[in-house]
Amino acid sequence: MKICIVYNAHPTGCSFYRLEMPNAYLGDNYPEFDYVCVENITTISDEGLKSIDLFLFSRLWCQGTMEQVENVYKALTQYGAKVILDLDDYWVLESGHIMYRHYLQTKLADVIRKHIKLADWVTCTTEHLAARIRPLNANVSILQNEPYEAYQQFIPNPEEEPDKHLVKFGWFGGAQHGEDMELLRAGMQKLRWDANLDGKYRLYLGGWNDNNPVYEGYEKIISDQGNNPNYGRIQAADIYSYVGGYNFVNVTLAPLRDTKFNKLKSELKVVEAGWMNKAIIASETIPYTDVIRHGENGFLVPYNKPKDWYKYIKQLILDPDLRKGLADNLTRDIKSRFNVAETAKKRAELYRQIGRKL
């Protein structure tokens, strides 16, 4: 079967986890699938279209009018090929999202809905998101986000860890998390005033970007306006190496506002933490509550108790056995539940079911 992966935007976290990495696993382990990758479908000739059995897209294949979306679908499928559309998160943004105005001006939510309705099949990350998709298209499969260790960044390397006498906490993320980061503010202020903990820990802001002022705002929250001496940066890295930043920390922080949009995200931050054998403190909201059992494989912070970020950070600074136990339990759970080989079987069966039959 000849499969065409179309990278409209690459490399991004979405294209990496949803298109490149899972299909790299299939390419390495299922010789029946032959891949070709393009960045622009207009570069595919008619002969090329005739040879392709299955197209894979993330979020959309065409950003234009409804008629253009439909015409492109007809062109892609005119020789019998099928189209799978993958969705990593919800297509209706909330006003605090960095891309909200763009989506509003371009009516992108409506454009994506049209894609969902036309696609031969839709894949997504969680049952929560699948439930939103089914009213538009009943053909939905849940394929989880999972690391593939052929990508070296997913192999933990404790030797890289600096300052081993310190307990290190890290937040990792992109420029769209301003409202989520606000959840940390009260806890970070309280932590800064606890002088008894000075010299025992470090807070890291992962993904630091000198050219993006958003990170300056993040830094002010985590360092309490620059007043916490136990603070440091982890520089931004590309999509093929950023997970290596986890080697610099012992515990990850995952604040997330309890909103409709966020509840339809994947559990990726928990998956990455568990894969890299790190403890986690996260907001008590879906999707994190689907994986984290409070006090067993992580800590969950209720929305109405913002100072609990400080409470659990302090506990993990002072109790190395608890820290290791949470990390080991999370790693066990993640590697059992998020298994790339098992998901690959589902993905391969879907491709066989959907792909053009010659």
pLDDT at 162 over 80: no
- CB count in 10 Å sphere of residue 281: 26
pLDDT for 59 equals 95
How many C-beta neighbours within 10 Å does residue 27 have? Answer: 13
Q: Which residues pair with 279 in a beta bridge?
A: 251
Q: Does domain 152-337 have CATH number 1.10.240.10?
A: no
Greatest Cα pair distance in the chain: 71
Model confidence pLDDT, tens digit, residues 295-337 = 999 999 999 999 999 999 999 999 999 999 999 999 999 999 9
Residue 339: what are its φ and ψ, rounded to 5°? -110, 110
- Rounded to an integer, the average pLDDT of 7-23 is 91
Q: What is the mean pLDDT of the chain?
A: 94
Global pTM reads: 0.94
Cβ atoms 280, 254 nearer than 8 A: yes
- In this chain, the answer to whether the domains covering 2-146+339-354 and 152-337 adopt an identical fold is yes
DSSP 63: -
pLDDT at 204 over 80: yes
pLDDT for position 358: 62
Residue 73 banded pLDDT, cuts 50, 70, 90: very high
Q: In this structure, which topology does domain 2-146+339-354 adopt according to CATH? A: Rossmann fold (3.40.50)
**Residue 164: its pLDDT value, please?**
80
Query: What are the tens digits of pLDDT across the range 87-139?
Result: 999 999 888 787 888 888 888 999 999 999 999 999 999 999 999 999 999 99
Q: What is the mean pLDDT of residues 205-209?
A: 93
pLDDT confidence of residue 231: 96
Which residue has better confidence, 161 or 129? 129
pLDDT score recorded for residue 174: 85
Ranges of each domain in the chain: 2-146+339-354, 152-337
